Amino acid sequence: MIRKGLKNHSKNTVRKTAGLLLSLTLASASLLGCGSTKAGNTKENAADNSTIETKNVETAAETTAETKADTTASDEKVKLRIGYFTVNNGTPELYAAESEGYLKEELGENVEIEYIGFSNGPAANEAFLAGEIDFQNGMGDLPVLNGWRNGLDTKVIAQTGSLGANTGLVVSDKSGIDAVEELKGKNVGVYIGTSFHKSVLGILSDHGLSAGDVNLVNIDSTSDGIAALASGELDAYYVASTFYVDYAKENNIGELLEDSSNYPSYGYLIGSSKYIDEHPEVVKGLVKAFERGADFINQDKKAGAKAVSDFLKTEYDQAYSTLSNENVTVYLDDGAVENLFRAEKFLNSIGAVEVELSEDQILEHVDKSFLD
C-alpha cells in the first residue's frame, strides 16, 4: 500500500509500449509534448540619474544624447525563462537560489525571471525548439545529446547533479527475481526518452540483455512506478530517487536489484546559444546564484530540503532524504564532459541512434567559460 500523501501524477499507472522501437523513443522531437506551469516574478527598477560634467555645449549635447541611450537600455527588462523538472528534486540549487534571494541579488532588478515546469527532457527540448525557454536545469545526458542530434542550438554551461550508486533497478518482492538476467520477458518500468532510460539499457546490456528482451513500460511518475511494483504490474522499475528506493524496501515492495553506478544519470544546466551570446552577464549571474544555492544546501540540509519542498510542492521528507546523502555541486569538469562522450558511444554501440555525434561536435556545445 502506498503511503497516503505521496505525490501521484497520473491515474494511468502503467502505459505499455508494445513493439517499442528504441530509435523512435530517442528522437526528442517526436516524444512527449510539453505541459508547463508558469510563475513569473516581476521586479521593479530605478533609472540612473547621475550628473554629467561637460566642458562645452557641444560636448554636453553629445554626452547627454549618449546618456539617454544608455539609460533607455538599462531600463529595458531582460527576461530570463528557466525550465525545471516538476518531478525531480535532484537539482535543488535552483530552488535554494530562488528562496534565499540569490538570483535577485546576482541578476539585478532589470532581469525578470519566469519559471516553467516540465515533466521530462524531451518536453524541454521541444520548448527550446519553440523558443519558449532560455535555460533548462537538470537536463539528462540522453535528451541533451538527442537535442543536438536534432539540430537544437543549446550549450551545456554546468553540471548540476548526478544519480548513480543509490538509484537503479528495483525488483518487485512479488516477482521472485534475484538477478538481472531473469528479467528477460518481464515488465520493466522506466521513464522512456530520459537519461534513466539510458541507465536501464546499460544495466541490461551488462547482463546480456537488450531492450527487445524485456517489455519496457513507460512510467512518468515515481509514485506510479512504486504502486505498479506493489501491485505486481511491474517486475522491475528504475527508481531515480533514494527516498523511493528506501520506501520500497521498508514497505516490502521491492529491493534494489542493481544500482546505476556504471551508468549514472547526470544533470546539466543548458541554455540557448543565442541567449548566452546576447546576455553573457545574465548567464554569469545565473551560475553564481546556483553556486551560492548549492553552498547553502550543503551547509544546512534541512533548510535546503524546505526550499526544495516549498518550490516543488512535494513532501519535506522526500526532499530531505534525497539531500541528506548528497553533496550538491555546480561545476563542469572533464568528467562531466566525458560522460557525454561515453553516453553517445553507448547509444551508438547498441544501435539506438542512426548518426553518432563526434567528440568535436559535442564540444561545440560545451561552454566552460562561466565557471572558470
| 230-270 tens-digit pLDDT | 999 999 999 988 888 989 999 999 999 999 888 888 889 99
pLDDT score of 41 more than 60: no
Confidence of residue 131 (pLDDT cuts 50, 70, 90): very high
> Taking residues 290-295, what's their average pLDDT?
96
Q: What is the mean pLDDT of residues 208-231?
A: 94
Amino acid, res. 19: G
pLDDT, mean of residues 39-48: 34
Average pLDDT, the chain: 81
Q: How confident is the model at residue 349 (pLDDT cuts 50, 70, 90)?
A: confident
Residues 294-312 have a mean pLDDT of 95
Spatial separation of the C-alpha atoms in residues 12 and 233, rounded to whole Å: 12
Which residue from 129, 103, 245, 260 is spatially nearest to 197, judged by alpha carbons? 260
Torsion of CA 192, 197, 203, 204, to 10 degrees: 30
User: What does the block give as the cell for 273?
Assistant: 546559444
pLDDT value, residue 366: 97
Q: Which of 32-41, 148-157, 308-317 has the lowest mean pLDDT?
A: 32-41
Q: What is the pLDDT of residue 154?
A: 98
Characterize 255-268 residue by residue with b for buried, 16 or more Cβ atoms within 10 angstroms of its Cβ, and e for exposed: ebbbbbeebbbbbb
Whether the CB-CB separation of 122 and 193 falls below 8 Å is answered with: yes
Q: In this structure, are strands 78-85 and 254-259 parallel, antiparallel, or unpaired?
A: unpaired
**Distance from C-alpha of 272 to C-alpha of 277, rounded to nearest angstrom:** 9
Q: How far apart are CA 369 and CA 287, in angstroms?
A: 11
Mean pLDDT within 166-189: 94
d(CA 29, CA 331): 28
pLDDT tens-place string over residues 98-111 = 999 999 999 999 99
Instruction: State the average pLDDT over residues 15-29.
Output: 34
Sequence letter at residue 372: D
Q: pTM value?
A: 0.72
- Which of 65-79, 137-151, 316-330 reaches the highest mean pLDDT? 137-151
> What domains does the chain contain, in order, with CATH numbers?
15-30+165-259 (3.40.190.10), 75-163+266-371 (3.40.190.10)
Cα separation values, 188 from 21, 229, 280, 363, Å: 15, 10, 43, 34
Q: What is the pLDDT of residue 226?
A: 95
Mean pLDDT of 29-41: 32
The closest of 125, 127, 129, 153 to 141, measured between CA atoms, is 125
* Top-confidence residue, 37 or 200: 200
How far CA 335 is from CA of 118, 203, 331, 342, in Å, comes to 27, 20, 10, 10
The secondary element (H helix, E strand) that includes residue 135 is strand 135-140
- Lowest mean pLDDT: which of 13-27, 170-184, 351-365? 13-27
Instruction: State residue 207's pLDDT score.
Output: 96
Q: Pick the residue with more confidence: 261 or 274?
A: 274
Which has more confidence, 46 or 198? Answer: 198
Give the model's confidence band at 74: pLDDT under 50 very low, under 70 low, under 90 confident, else very high. Answer: low
49: helix, coil or strand?
coil
Q: Which three cell numbers stand for residue 37?
A: 506551469
pLDDT score, position 158: 96
Average pLDDT over residues 71-77: 58
Q: Tell whether the model's pLDDT for residue 5 goes beyond 50.
A: no
pLDDT tens-place string over residues 75-84: 689 999 999 9
pLDDT at residue 63 in the model: 37
What average pLDDT does range 353-361 have in this prediction? Answer: 93
Predicted pLDDT of residue 62: 42
**Which comes out higher in pLDDT, residue 284 or 324?**
284
